[in-house]
A and B are shown apart, each in its own frame.
Chain A
Amino acid sequence: MAKIIVRNLTKRYGDAVALDNISLEIGSGEFLVLLGPSGCGKTTLLRCLAGLETPDTGQIFLGEKKVFDGESKINIAPGKREVGMVFQSYALWPHLTVRDNLKFGLDVLNIPIKKANARLDKVLSDVGLSKFADRYPSELSGGQQQRVALARLLATEPNIFLMDEPLSNLDARLRMDMRVELKRFQAETNATTVYVTHDQTEAMTMSTQVVVMNNGKIEQVSAPQDLYRYPETTFVADFVGMPRINLIKLKEDSSNGTRYGNGEVSIDLGWSPGIREIVIGARPEDLILSQGDEAMGEEYEITAVMPNGPETFVQLARGNTAVLARADNDTKFKTSDIVHVGYNPKSINIYDTQTNSLVPYRGPK
């Protein structure tokens, strides 16, 4: 229905750069999640798309329409961009009933009463709020308020959905249910959706594309599966994944270029990245622990064992180097045990310390 194109967008607040030359293309019907820590610029980007913030330079296209251009001074008002938005606080008007909250936007569009009423009835029943049409927002539960916010967005039938952490005020269980429902509405309407969150599970489960942002810049754009498996920068590797990935800085050890170490840990990669200094990124589940099998790898001491339902995390140390590994939950490991740690060279990622970006795997297939 509507593509979104962002070109070289920059937004400054005084000396702070909120958006640093952002370029991005979002395909029609895509569910794109902007993911990042607080202050990374994701909400600013969303608000620039809505027209609630004015960027300093760059261009924004929504569908066929150029809505912002820093050069030719085009800046279309938010109301004329045909976007709908769900705010983090829902921003429901407390003095209007649920029905009137939905109707406000239709009034502005001058939609005839009959048609408007029919549409309101449909939207209200779609989100399961028909019974609550005459209530005031403060008389509804958090989950119901969330639905009203969603219904208000659906009522005006925008081409583009913008959502700013819409689920962050709900409790964990309700959040899971609403994720499914949001996804359903997006699929039904096929509206291009831009969704801001700092919750990576939300990002992974809902999106078709994830954009990870940091310090006003885009770190990575990729499908959610790739994001976890092949983080392109150390920042993304570190930010995505719970518990965190093991990142260890190592120097080239020998002349053949495959062995790296830091004086405590020494690892043979099995291939040569050709760089003096690297950071290796190994997810806890990529490490294989064994008691007694010296061929697996170096010896580590277990410093903590942390059962967590289906799995158990094991904190390991070799000198001052600490790593976290995942073991099955029927593991017999105890604190102070000595284990040998192995890994599959293909599953760990290597980063260049100069650029902090991924060095593609070039080892044996």
Chain B
Amino acid sequence: MSSRTSALFLTKRRTSDWVKDPVNFLLLILLFVLAYLILWPFLQLIIESLTWGEGDRRISREAIPGEFTWFHWLQATTGPISGKMLYGPLANTLKTGIIATTLALLVGGILAWCVVRSDMPGKSWLQPILTLPYIVPSFAVALSWEAVFRSPKVGGQPGLYEAVLGASPPEWISYGTFPISVTLAIHYFPFAYLLVAGALATIDSQMEEGALIAGAGRLMILRRITFPVVAPAFVAAFILTFGKTIGQFALPFLLGAPTQFHTVATMVYANLALGLESMAFVLAIILIAISLVSIWLSNRFVGKNSSRFETISGKGFRSRVIALGTWRWPIFLLVATFGFITGILPLILLGYQSIMLIDGFYDLSNMTSHFWLGKSNPEIAFGTPGVLHNNIILGATWNTLKLAFISAIIASIVGLIIAYIVVRRGDNPLAKILDQVAFIPFLFPTIAFGAMYLTLFAEPVGPIPALYGTFSLLVLISVVSRLPYSVKTGVMAVTQIGKELEEAAELTGASWGKRFRRIIIPLASPGVISGMMVSFVGVMRELSLIILLITPSTRVLMTVGFSYVEEGLTQLSNALVLIVAVLTIIGELVLLWFGKGKITRLREKHS
């Protein structure tokens, strides 16, 4: 019997050892809990999409709530409204997703090359600015786009464009495919930039020098050597970015819904708003399917080619920067301007918008601090008080910080424990399964994941009370959605801790709990804490994930901002999103500071 099977089907003697190991209990418990929180909701989503719901009585006389039916799937795929319900939004999703991803990759790739491989000046401070659009909520980019290109034809006040030029912008610039693709690209190009920069940094310039000696020109080297080597990273970046764009809800909603331009994600929301839950679930499943197919494609391509492109070699590794010559400063100016327009200008616009008494009227006399400092005034914004006196906003701020803090901590600790099991008990097939289950949330577009949790815990299950509308549910989904990342951080951290460090403690008689607390946690902490900060920022700016699960008592800043947009309270929504943006930037700064911090001692030598 091979060791693989014997680990699962334990021999008699091993049984007693297996039971004595507390890690195995943790493994079983985690496996059960994650299956319940990840696999079961997905299954339920499918079941619900095949069941008549309460709201269905309005659209079909045959509806018997609780009974099995193909109705929703047929309606979505072949029914008279299928074009409007599925095919139109699906085309829009793919269209905006592909355009946005292509743009993001193009821009991100060029920037990555400039920063990693050229001698462009000012890299050290350009780099953080270039990542700003990704750090702030995607919503912020969309809001500032709207601030500029809003058109009174659709409703509301004119934007900056019309105020300056006197004519309203063409509608295709204001709403629909173009603005959605561009703003998505602005939000995601830093993501592509980071992925490509990482790949570029691994190229040994000796490869390029080899080509240079062979007499190849600079462009030829780029085309024949550099690009093919980073190609797998490009494909991976494309798929990952695309996967993220299709789950985006707030951004396409803001720049599409006013002209009835829908993506699958906004359609999920629209159907839920109409009480057509099963229909929404059908669309959510289709969204998940797109995501799964794209990830599968990426694995097929990258998996096949990755070993062929293995470039990391131990010795003689050098990365040479390429001299730009006279282009040095023009390119710098171009990059800096781009960084300003995409990273800083939107925040300035949001700030400016939030101090305008009458929306869209650009004049000094129109400036007010009311939306920040003012008390309730029935003549302004339906009497909604300014940010600092607004109990809803203060409550939401508290909720936001609480949610981000608690979720980040739980996700990191659970992630570390899972990572420990995956690394140290890798020969146990159950550990491999645990690893895979924890990764699954990564495959779910966020709004679809939110839809799954609508039905989960709607009613009490055993000892667990009904959680719908509670803060706990938000924590739960935030933690689970962060798990793929926190497990990954944890695996990196635990892998770096030599097994012997733990064995040395085991020999003194320290129990597993003690070893985990006193050896593993302190040694993993640098990596885990930075992972915690990433989760903190990630949860704070999240909207698509939780928009479906929010109730008045559990509001967070992003959802309040979103509801103000829906109510047309532009200044307040701008102020709120600005607050979130500033909070996330502070979080990133802490992270940056922490990364350079003192704990380097722990990383030395002990790999």
A interface residue numbers (CB < 8 A to B): 12-15, 50-52, 54, 70, 73, 75, 77-81, 83-85, 87-89, 91-95, 104-105, 108-109, 136, 138-139, 152, 156
Contacts and interface: CB of A to CB of B under 8 A. Distances in A.
Contacts of A89: 498, 500
For the complex of A and B, the 5 pairs showing the least CB-CB separation, nearest first, are: A79-B509, A105-B508, A91-B500, A91-B504, A138-B604
B566 interface: no
Contacts of A139: 601
24 contacts: A12-B3, A14-B3, A15-B2, A51-B507, A52-B506, A54-B14, A73-B12, A79-B508, A83-B507, A84-B507, A87-B500, A89-B500, A91-B504, A93-B501, A93-B504, A93-B505, A93-B523, A95-B522, A95-B523, A95-B602, A104-B510, A108-B510, A136-B601, A138-B604
Contacts, number: 87
Given A14-B3, A54-B17, A94-B604, A109 B504 contact: no
A156 B508 contact: yes
Contacts of B523: 93-95
Nearest to A52: B503
Contacts of A92: 501, 504
Interface in B566-607: 601-602, 604-606
Given A94-B604, A138-B605, A78 B500 contact: no
Contact of A104 (B16, B503, B505, B604): B505
Nearest to A71: B13
B507 A50 contact: yes
A40 B465 CA distance: 58
B509 A77 contact: yes
A216 B34 CA distance: 42
B518 interface: yes
Given A13-B3, A14-B2, A14-B3, A91 B501 contact: yes
B522 A108 contact: no
A108 B12 CA distance: 31
Given A95-B522, A136-B601, A108 B503 contact: no
B514 interface: yes
Contacts of B509: 77-80, 105, 108-109
B3 A85 contact: no
Interface of B: 2-4, 12-14, 16-17, 498, 500-501, 503-510, 514, 518-519, 522-523, 601-602, 604-606
A301 B507 CA distance: 58
Contacts of B522: 95
A104 B518 contact: yes
B13 A73 contact: yes
A93 B520 CA distance: 10
A25 B505 CA distance: 27
Nearest to A152: B504
For A83, A92, A95, A109, the residue with the greatest tally of chain B CB atoms inside 10 Å of its CB is A95
Contacts of B12: 73
A81 B532 CA distance: 39
Given A94-B523, A138-B605, A78 B514 contact: no
Nearest to B522: A95
A54 B13 CA distance: 11
A105 B601 CA distance: 22
Contacts of B518: 104
B464 to A, nearest CB: 36
A84 B506 CA distance: 11
A78 B17 contact: no
B570 to A, nearest CB: 51
A148 to B, nearest CB: 11
A52 B12 CA distance: 19
Given A50-B503, A79-B507, 17 more contacts: A12-B3, A52-B507, A54-B14, A75-B17, A84-B507, A85-B504, A87-B500, A87-B504, A88-B500, A91-B498, A91-B501, A92-B504, A95-B523, A95-B602, A104-B505, A108-B510, A139-B601
Contacts of B4: 14
Contacts of B601: 94-95, 136, 138-139
